[in-house]
Structure 1
Amino acid sequence: MKIKFLGGAGTVTGSKYLITHNNQRILVDCGLYQGVKKLRLRNWKPFPVDPKTINAVVLTHAHIDHSGYVPALRKKGFKGPVYCTQGTYDLCKILLPDSGFLQEEDARYANKKKFSRHNPAMPLYTEKDAIESLKLFKPVHYHKTIEVAHHIQATFTPVGHILGSSAVQITAGGKTITFSGDVGRSEDLVMRSPEPLQSTDYLVVESTYGNRTHDETDPFEFFKEVINKTMERGGIVLFPSFAVGRAQTILYIIQLLKERNEIPDVPVFLNSPMAISATETYCRHHKEHRLTKEECSKIDKGTHFVRTPEESIELNKRKYPSIIISASGMASGGRVLHHLKTLLPNHRNSVVFVGFQAPGTRGDAMVNGAQQVKIHGAYHPVRAEVCNLDSLSAHGDYNEIIGWLDQSEIAPKRVFVTHGEPAASDNMRLKLEEKFGWTVDVPDPSDEFEL
């Protein structure tokens, strides 16, 4: 059995791991590169192996940096099954078509405004491509071992993070390798704690927060202070938010603050079709997370869902105090860009980022004090108050992940640290070596190892 790191190595995005055994090929995760242009351009490069030779894809969860390349892989000739949990499948039914739609929309806008170097600008794949790719999906139950290719098996274990998230253990030729996926947190407000792993020969573990611990800021106090201060100024609070997981947590906190009369009863708008559908999906899967059916209903009733482009345009004209939640979480695309262009120049407004901001993204620039940001080919001044709350991240930090691995009581022969910036991954390597005495590698892109 061999593993080759086709993505997610040296960066926090584009996760793709190729397992080869007896001429069978399994791709664990199939993510899009997101963030800075240098990374995004990798999405357009020829795939490192012929997609027609891949027997199956196995997904740890639905976030686009883990699932978003599936439609492109299908376009290039992949025809095998895509295995994942039911929650992941239900979210992919939302995220993948939305990803295709946004790519088409961005291409149309670039062609209209003529700010793209490509003439015409083209999407990597379309909404229709994404819908077609969903026909390949085969949802499976947690803890049930299934055969994903000849003599290759997979088992899914819940790890928090978002709905449907799992660690995936691959078994072939008497050996086991476990992929952590993105690991959640034991004290997450919405998702349940990650379950301990089963014994494994090899381990691939994420390191998004491999060199940092989350701050201890109380999110309720933080939200209360920012919202009240902005309302007193007569401004609007904008939350650039990831549509899946983060948006639901933000809505939950705001709803509780309103119930306690700790913030004014101002309108709350969720302006992201994808986040709206994801919120509805979380409500349907209420048995898989901490929120009760009643709590989900309160979030649903207390939020104005902005579904159409026309409603979004009208919302962008709003001058009165309100709260807007809109994707994407790093301000890398989507409807939030139009809100930023309108709200950033006004000092009365606040822009609140929640969670990790990848280097090179607009979110990273604003959090680090940028005086202006480039959106749709033009620069816009940053006069609004910009805040960042790290304590709500859906990723475990290195202490939390090490605690989870310690609880798992595993002793892998070799560990591979991925899905992190170079400094974060290397720090995670050191921490794992010091704590457990394991043999730990930080692979580079395209590195291959025989197991």
Structure 2
Amino acid sequence: MARIEHAKTQNPQVATLTFWGGVGTVTGSKYLIETKNSRVLIDCGLFQGLKELRDRNWQAPPFDPTTIDAVVLTHAHTDHVGYLPALVKNGFKGEVYCTRATAELARIILEDSAELQEEEADWRNKKGLTDHHPALPLYDRNDVRKTLKLFRPQKGGTEGFQAASDIRVQWWPAGHMLGARSLRVEVSGAGAQGQQRSILFSGDVGRWDQPVLKDPVTPPPADYVLVESTYGDRLHEDEDPRAALAEVIRDAHARNAPVLIPAFSVGRTQDILYHIRELEDAGEIPIIPVRADSPMAAEATQVYLKMIEEHDDDTREITQRKRNPLRTKSMGFSSSREESKRINEETGARVIVSAGGMMTGGRILHHARLLVPNPEATLCFVGFQAAGTTGRRILDGEPEIKIFKEAIPVRCRIKKIGGFSGHADYRELLNWLEPLAKVAPRQVYITHGEPEAALAMQGHIQERFGWNVSVPAYGDVIELR
């Protein structure tokens, strides 16, 4: 906080942007815009992965939540919205702006997050598996209820809306998940001479030609650009994800063995179900049981089906034929704990899609505890695994992992399908940035990537466009001159 106050004291007429998350890591996105009159936070995510990052969630906020006028969300994933109830718990009473789909999905994600935290705290207290006495959740369901009352869904689009008296927001589809948007923020009176300044927040940029969602759209040029770099150091594999998934399922059927897919309940689970349904319709895979083990995934799937304004042309065409594009021929959602436990009593070939996507928590851990030691089982990763997560440790070849403080040997078959990623790779990100070359930004900032990926993305942009590009650190302040 002192760094911001110092910057404001030196230049009281200049608006600032501070990086309080989403830098040096792919999680915890929080970007604070401060003007003479307003303070607006772009995204409010939880830190995940490495313990040193997760510990930030439990520290006092680095800014005063009571002084924040509004929060604007790019999308509903936990690393962009998961800290909101903690912000409210610490005194935030402003408004939360987002798309209608983001509001619906954020409600599901935050309610689930609070319930899981409460359950885990209770479980650790009963088992004595805690360094704190008693173990407490970061926030509870009451905090979430208070948070949801602050949501103000907007139509947005190119017409935009006022997030504060001197801060106006426009948005365009980002293609990352249902309701995801890239934001272009206009800040009035930002510079020392009262100039207007614009900031473009990429949010998480998705891929083109993905199920259900419209393709990403690049907003108009801006003075400052923040671009994500989750895959800033790599290109997606050329393999067809649908064909790779078909191969995994056919192999499991032939061996009469289970497939466990860690997948975020919102976004990735729906992608997997869409592809399995298409493969079944095309006769490319046998019909085997599919279990989506997540109450949140079940509820999110209903949101995906009803948000027709977010659908691409292919999905609209399927729904117009009164078909459910997200339902396979032999599937079921597990909502209760009892239903989840019964999944582990099943035998034979089956697909279990379970939260969470990086194996840091959720029901996936209960399934993994039984299936990861099984040489016949296949653990199939379909998304990015951040440093420090259980999923990353398995992908990195560690022979043993810990689940609920129990050592679990890794003996299962491991498959990674890269084509399901919800993030653009660096070539796709460069193509997304291309329209901005008409009017070069004053400065580009690389965000939402691990250090190697962020530095690589910096080099790619400098080489392609010759722009001024830097990689900010946690707590860095820039003046919007």
Which TM-score band applies after superposition, normalised by the shorter structure?
over 0.9
Closer, same or farther in 2 for the Cα pair 1:410/1:29, shift >3 Å? farther
Match of residue 257 from structure 2 = 235
Q: Which of these residues, 63, 75, 83, is aligned with residue 89 of structure 2?
A: 75
Matches within 5 A, 1:407-446: 407-408=435-436, 409-446=438-475
Closer, same or farther in 2 for the Cα pair 1:40/1:345, shift >3 Å? same
Q: Distance in 2 between matches of 1:341 and 1:49?
A: 40
Instruction: Kindly indicate whether residue 298 of structure 2 is the aligned counterpart of residue 276 of structure 1.
Output: yes
The letter of the residue matching 1:323 is V
Report the TM-score when normalising by structure 2: 0.91
Question: Offset at 1:296?
Answer: 6.0
Matches within 5 A, 1:89-128: 89-128=103-142
Match of residue 260 from structure 1 = 282
Deviation track 1:422-447 (CA, whole Å, cap 9, x = no partner) reads 11111111111111111111000000
Question: Offset at 1:210?
Answer: 0.6
Matches within 5 A, 1:345-424: 345-408=373-436, 409-424=438-453
Q: Which of these residues, 349, 353, 367, is aligned with residue 321 of structure 1?
A: 349
Closer, same or farther in 2 for the Cα pair 1:134/1:51, shift >3 Å? same
Match of residue 8 from structure 2 = none
| SS of structure 2 residue aligned to 1:92 | helix
Gaps of 5+ in 1: none
Q: Which of these residues, 297, 300, 325, is aligned with residue 324 of structure 2?
A: 297
Match of residue 285 from structure 1 = 307
Report the TM-score when normalising by structure 1: 0.97
Asked whether the equivalents of residues 56 and 149 of structure 1 are also in contact (C-alpha less than 8 Å), the reply is yes
RMSD between aligned alpha carbons?
1.4
Matches within 5 A, 1:132-171: 132-141=146-155, 142-171=157-186
Matches within 5 A, 1:202-213: 202-213=224-235
Matches within 5 A, 1:16-55: 16-55=30-69
Instruction: Kindly indicate whether residue 354 of structure 2 is the aligned counterpart of residue 340 of structure 1.
Output: no
Q: Distance in 1 between matches of 2:323 and 2:458?
A: 39
The letter of the residue matching 1:190 is V
Question: Offset at 1:295?
Answer: 7.9
Q: How many residues align?
A: 451
Closer, same or farther in 2 for the Cα pair 1:298/1:57, shift >3 Å? closer
Instruction: Kindly indicate whether residue 273 of structure 2 is the aligned counterpart of residue 251 of structure 1.
Output: yes
Q: Distance in 1 between matches of 2:172 and 2:140?
A: 32
Q: Distance in 2 between matches of 1:262 and 1:212?
A: 30
Spell out structure 1 runs of 4+ moving beyond 4 A: none
Q: Distance in 1 between matches of 2:280 and 2:26?
A: 35
Match of residue 3 from structure 2 = none
Asked whether the equivalents of residues 185 and 198 of structure 2 are also in contact (C-alpha less than 8 Å), the reply is yes
Asked whether the equivalents of residues 3 and 17 of structure 1 are also in contact (C-alpha less than 8 Å), the reply is yes
The letter of the residue matching 1:69 is Y
The letter of the residue matching 1:449 is I
Taking only the aligned residue pairs, the percentage that are identical comes to 45
Q: Distance in 2 between matches of 1:19 and 1:52?
A: 15
Q: Distance in 1 between matches of 2:138 and 2:61?
A: 13
Deviation track 1:367-426 (CA, whole Å, cap 9, x = no partner) reads 122222100010111121111111110100111011011034442111111100111111
Closer, same or farther in 2 for the Cα pair 1:365/1:301, shift >3 Å? closer
Gaps of 5+ in 2: 1-14, 190-195
The letter of the residue matching 2:396 is N
The letter of the residue matching 2:280 is K
Match of residue 221 from structure 1 = 243
The letter of the residue matching 1:374 is K
Q: Distance in 2 between matches of 1:332 and 1:166?
A: 26
Question: Offset at 1:188?
Answer: 2.0
Question: Offset at 1:196?
Answer: 2.0
